[in-house]
Structure 1
Amino acid sequence: MNAQINQKNAARINTIIHASLSHISHRNAFIAWIARRS
């Protein structure tokens, strides 16, 4: 049961990390786009 809980937590953490990483790359692309326009 403990291992199952740890696995579930690890999956949730991986999802959060992946989401924040893609958010950061989207934001960086947006900033670069603004920098090119100005």
Structure 2
Amino acid sequence: LNAEELPEEQEGYEKEKAEESNWQIENKLEKDINEEYDDDRD
């Protein structure tokens, strides 16, 4: 894809990637919290 030809599509792709990385960060934080909780239960 040529970004100059499809600026809107490119913009949508960039936004999607950003949302995806935010989602991954949130998931990681949640996972870390759950692991800490599991450690405390022992």
Q: State whether TM-score is above 0.5.
A: yes
Q: Structure with the greater relative contact order (CA < 8 A, sep ≥ 6): 1 or 2?
A: 2
Alignment length (residue pairs)? 38
User: Unpaired runs of 5+ in structure 1?
Assistant: none
Query: After the TM superposition, which segments of 4 or more aligned residues of structure 1 sit over 2 Å from their partners?
Result: none
RMSD across aligned positions (CA) = 1.4
* Structure with bigger gyration radius: 2
- Normalising by structure 2, report the TM-score: 0.82
Using the alignment, how far apart are the partners of 2:25 and 2:8 within structure 1?
Answer: 26
- Normalising by structure 1, report the TM-score: 0.89
Give the fraction of aligned pairs with identical amino acids, expressed as a percent: 3
